[in-house]
Structure 1
Amino acid sequence: MDEEITDGYSEPCGQCSLVCWGVSDGGQLFCKNCHNVIERTREVEDMNTLLFNHRISSLSSGKRKRGGREGARDWMVCEGFQLILKHQAEALVDLGVCPQFKTDVLWIFWKRYLQKTKQAYTRNPVNSDRNLVDLISESGEVTSVAFNEASWYDETFSVKRDHTVSGYSSDGRSSVCSGSVDAERYFRRKERKYLMSMSRTLALCHLALLWVREAITLADLLRLVSKGHVPYINAHALFPEEMRFFGKDALIFRVESIPSYRKVHRETMELAALIELPTFPPVSQDCLLHPALLSLRYLMDANLPDKLHEFVCKVIQETYMGEESFLTFDPTGRKPKLLCYDLQAAALIVVAMKLLFRLDDKMEWKLSRKACDKGNQMDQGKKKKKTGKGGKMFSLRTWFMIVQPALERAREKEKHAKAMQQWKSKKPIIQSMKNKTIVQKRRRVVEQLQSTFQALSGSTPEQQTSSPSSFLFLWGDEDGADGPSLRYKCLDCLMIKKQKIWHLVNRKYWHTDLRKCLSWCKEHFSDLEPTLPRMYVWLLGLFSFMLCVEDAQLHSAVIQAEEGEGSHSLSAHIHPHEGGGAG
């Protein structure tokens, strides 16, 4: 095809002196040998000749116009974020989230955010002459706009544009600094706190998921993003062709990492305060965000027995951490606090295991030997049967030997997936129109080198996206399982009967210093971690990997569960003779 288009042009390349021309996607000629781009375009004098012959007879040496906007339209940054939110909402609905999440919740939250920040749906849109902070403080109540689902798909965005915004001139042509008309305003320090960002799109989706009380927690949302099931990395590639993307637009929409759990959680609370949301629907016992149901899911994923769920529910009951008033998010309160429901459920499991096994690197192994001895005695009572009641006894040592290799394989798999992640977009990002030809030339060289390397190594160009799942591990006898399932093991060896009352064999409980500090304090945990029991640290690492959080965050959630409301009644219930304290 290139030979037909370049027929008749036989001038040698100015750099390598070879005649080996090709045509780029932009219609420019480039040398296939040295990738030198020349400013030559096709010239057609007779349309009939083009229609019937389909050949180019001559090439013009005239330079192409730079900065032209043929086929393009003016767009604003908030319009780009709305398009990304639309695709994120559609992806979550395709994964099973109720359709009301997109039409009745996320869209309303987005409109309210635009109103509060005076970017749209207002008679006085924000401009470059006044400070956004002052406008928000003076705005007061804004009349809501009736919802119209077609606005998600409408090519024209309902924003009252101010043509005096920096980056946009009065003659209708955008400046060369960006493709959008208002990218400059997103780099002003005073306004950055209130303006949308890529990580805040996930925070807004998280708020909407909490409102509809879906089972997708923040940890699930971030995992779906990292696996590519929810658009985030290179989401600007979803922009239509008429939305020119270059320059400072890349600094706003381009991301090369997944935001941390802590950052998205903090921005979620900031957005809820900014748009002044009312009290969320209550988190009742039948809600999938309730710690009783979430903990059951994490017990299954960690290959722990179902019997342990009874003790977790007792901990929830004694600490009052299952009450609606405690779980329901109320942004209108005096000190609003958004719970980390997934971290809370995992922390309650860790507390329950500390109550049962102590996890001090001594008691848990004694109980494991006791479980094995009791199992052997019960097996000996069953003639010619290798699997009697003793085979159903849960042993922490056996559980550790099964889960540890699976955890290491999962970590290596995730590490390899991160190394193979393609962070850069397939479309080259033009930082400035002056360097457009250079960027395109580099991209062609990279693509040619990648294709050559893949042909030589025999590797696949792209990884196949795995199907989304609520569980990280697979336990059972199926092919490809991570190990045998311990779900139906019993915990009888952990209980002892005295005076017709059942008590725990473990009579002591230890905890770290309940010092007052900021949540998820890395400095304190890094100093404390060498002194903690290794089994406890390993357990933190297991659930932290499952939730894609840091060990310090989960440790802080465990401390909050231990020192939370009702902790004294928990100690009295579990330790009637010794009370709670370090053992």
Structure 2
Amino acid sequence: MKLYGRDKGIFAVESWPDYEDIYKKTIEVATFLDLPRFPDITEDCYLHPNILCLKYLMEVNLPDEMYSLTCQVVKMTGIGEVDFLTFDPIAKMAKTVKYDVQAVALIVVVLKLLFLLDDNLEWSLSSLAEKHNEKNKNDKPWFDFRKWYQVMKKTVDEKKQKWEEARAKYVWKSEKPLYYSSVDKPVAYKKREMVVNLQKQFSTLVDLTPTTEKKKPSSFQFNWIEEDTDRTCFHGHSLQGVLKEKGQSLLTKNSLYWLSTQKFCRSYCKHVTTYEESNFSLSYQFILNLFSFLLRIKASLLHEEVSLIEKKLFKKKYTITKKKSSRSKKVRR
């Protein structure tokens, strides 16, 4: 496709798109075009929460045993159903799912179920895991949340720095120069050639390292190898330190859980719930910021999705709080 004339202004964009804007515009286009129901999203589909959870568990270096727990939450909440996941633009009540955001929100909920993330329990469980691993070095190591936090924080900080540097150095120029008309074509190509030659000359003068070849695109941003001595791989670690057997089933040693929100905004409000970092534990903030960086979204958007999953998972608790609030309103009146 050749671009010139007025089309140049459309494609000469010099800004990074926002996740929410892309999401909204995609839905608007699908609705405007009256597209039929999209192909069913089954358990074999890449967009199914079970598969996406597996991907992101690998991405953030969490134990493989957490996968079965995320699958249980998917089953209990019903968010793995075909009708819930499949987008139908022409339906009267068209439901849309933020697939990746939903998957990482599921992992956040499971982490809260296991470690509570209240800046207290996760560290005490980490101390127990550390002591066990020191005594039983030949056995399968227990998952140590503190050690995982230290490894991930260092890795993410390095990745963020590289990402910010890459964004700052990014040249908003297409590989082929854009021109307004066929008359301007030779001039545009000549200017581009001069710029490239000057850049090469300056790089040799400054003794800069030559630009490396572009890496092949990958859906993974982090690479965890068990043989890597610099960074610990936690994929094979056990959750035995946070789980207990009861008959044939496994239960979490932690019996507590705090809801991300107990009050949702009204229907006319643009957002589901508000998110203020100061109201939440540092561990919870770190988890949200970690996944937000992976998906390049705002932490508040992920917090909303966590709250929605919790609403499905703890229906009774939300209905009780709703009844209490309605009763209190009646008393006030």
The TM-score bracket by the shorter chain reads 0.7 to 0.9
Is this contact kept in 2: 1:475–1:482, CA < 8 A? Answer: no
Distance 2:43 2:182 in 1: 57
Q: Is the 8 A contact 1:319 1:569 kept in 2?
A: no
Asked whether the 8 Å contact 1:318–1:569 carries over to 2, the reply is no
Corresponding residue of 1:464: 213
Instruction: Name the amino acid aligned to 1:392.
Output: P
Higher RCO structure (Cα 8 Å, ≥6 apart) = 2
Contact 2:115 2:122 in 1 (8 A): yes
Q: Determine the structure 1 residue equivalent to 2:299.
A: 551
* 1:50-69 equivalence runs, <5 A: none
Please say if 1:273 is aligned against 2:23.
no
Query: Matched residue of 2:124: which SS?
Result: helix
**What is the Cα deviation at residue 499 of structure 1?**
8.2
**Quick one: which amino acid aligns to residue 205 of structure 2?**
L
Structure 1 runs (4+) greater than 3 angstroms displaced: 374-377, 425-449, 460-463, 496-503
* Match of residue 298, structure 1, among 52, 56, 62: 56
Aligned residues of 1:318 and 1:570 also touching (Cα < 8 A): no
Judging changes above 3 Å, is the alpha-carbon distance between structure 1 residues 426 and 552 closer, same or farther for their aligned structure 2 residues?
Answer: same
SS in 2 for 1:493: coil
Give the TM-score taking structure 1 as reference length: 0.49
Greater percentage in helix: 2
Residue 454 (1) aligns with residue 212 (2): no
Amino acid at match of 2:307: I
How far apart in 2 are the matches of 1:495 and 1:464? Answer: 46
Counterpart for residue 408 of structure 1: 157
How many Å apart are 1:569 and its aligned residue? 6.3
Q: Post-superposition shift, 1:332?
A: 2.0
Three-state SS of the structure 1 residue aligned to 2:74 is: helix
Query: Aligned-pair distance for 1:341?
Result: 0.7
C-alpha separation between the residues in 1 aligned to 2:44 and 2:181?
54
Which of 311, 317, 322 is the matching residue for 2:69?
A: 311
Which one-letter code corresponds to 2:314 in the other structure?
Answer: S
Does residue 109 of structure 2 align to residue 351 of structure 1?
A: yes
- Structure 2 CA distance for aligned equivalents of residues 569 and 376 of structure 1: 42
Report the alpha carbon displacement of residue 337 of structure 1 after superposing the two structures with TM: 2.4
The partner residue of 1:396 within 131, 141, 145 is 145
* 1:399-432 superposed Cα distances (whole Å, 9 cap, x missing partner): 1122111111111221222223221235554569
- How far has the Cα of 1:272 moved from its partner? 0.9
Give the C-alpha shift of residue 518 in structure 1. Answer: 2.5
**Superposed counterparts of 1:347-496, under 5 Å:** 347-377=105-135, 379=136, 387-389=137-139, 392-425=141-174, 428-430=177-179, 446-447=195-196, 449-459=198-208, 462-478=211-227, 483-496=231-244
CA spacing shift, 1:314–1:500, aligned 2, 3 Å:
closer
Q: 1:373 to 1:466 in 2, by over 3 A?
A: same
Under a length normalisation based on structure 2, what TM-score does the superposition of the two structures give?
0.83
Write out per-residue CA displacement over residues 78-114 of structure 1, whole angstroms, 9 at most, x where no aligned residue.
xxxxx4xxxxxxxxxxxxxxxxxxxxxxxxxxxxxxx
| Aligned partners of 2:53 and 2:67 also within 8 Å | yes
Match of 2:11 among 253, 261, 267: 253
Distance 1:563 1:306, change over 3 A: same
Give the deviation of 1:560 after TM superposition. 1.4
Contact persistence 2:116–2:257 (CA under 8 A): yes
Tell me, yes or no, if the aligned pair for 1:494 and 1:506 is still in contact at 8 Å.
Answer: yes
* Equivalent residues in 2 for 1:203-242, closer than 5 Å: 239=2
| SS, match of residue 418 in structure 1 | helix
Partner letter of residue 415 of structure 1?
E
Q: Deviations over 1:186-212 (max 9, x none)?
A: xxxxxxxxxxxxxxxxxxxxxxxxxxx
Q: How does 1:67-78 map to 2 (within 5 A)?
A: none
Match of 1:567 in 2: 314
Structure-2 separation of matches of 1:445 and 1:505: 67
Which runs of 5 or more residues in structure 2 are unaligned? 319-333
The residue matched to 1:530 in structure 2 has which SS? helix
Q: SS in structure 1 opposite 2:232?
A: coil
Match of 2:285 among 529, 537, 549: 537
Letter in 1 for 2:41: V
Instruction: Choose the corresponding residue for 1:289, options 36, 47, 50.
Output: 47
Q: 1:503 aligns with which of 214, 232, 251?
A: 251
Gaps of 5+ in 1: 1-82, 84-238, 380-386, 572-583
Structure 1 CA distance for aligned equivalents of residues 91 and 109 of structure 2: 29
Distance 1:553 1:272 in 2: 22
For 2:24 and 2:55, locate their aligned partners in 1 and report how far apart those are by CA, in whole Å.
25
Counterparts of 1:23-34 in structure 2, within 5 Å, are: none
Change (3 A) 1:533 1:434: same
Once the two structures are superposed, residues 157-216 of structure 1 have per-residue CA deviations (whole angstroms, 9 ceiling, x without a partner) of xxxxxxxxxxxxxxxxxxxxxxxxxxxxxxxxxxxxxxxxxxxxxxxxxxxxxxxxxxxx
Percent sequence identity is: 35
3-state DSSP of counterpart to 2:241? helix
Q: Give deviations 1:39-88, integer Å, cap 9, x for gaps.
A: xxxxxxxxxxxxxxxxxxxxxxxxxxxxxxxxxxxxxxxxxxxx4xxxxx
Inter-partner Cα distance in structure 2 for 1:370 and 1:310: 23
2:251 is paired with a residue whose SS is: strand
Larger radius of gyration: 1
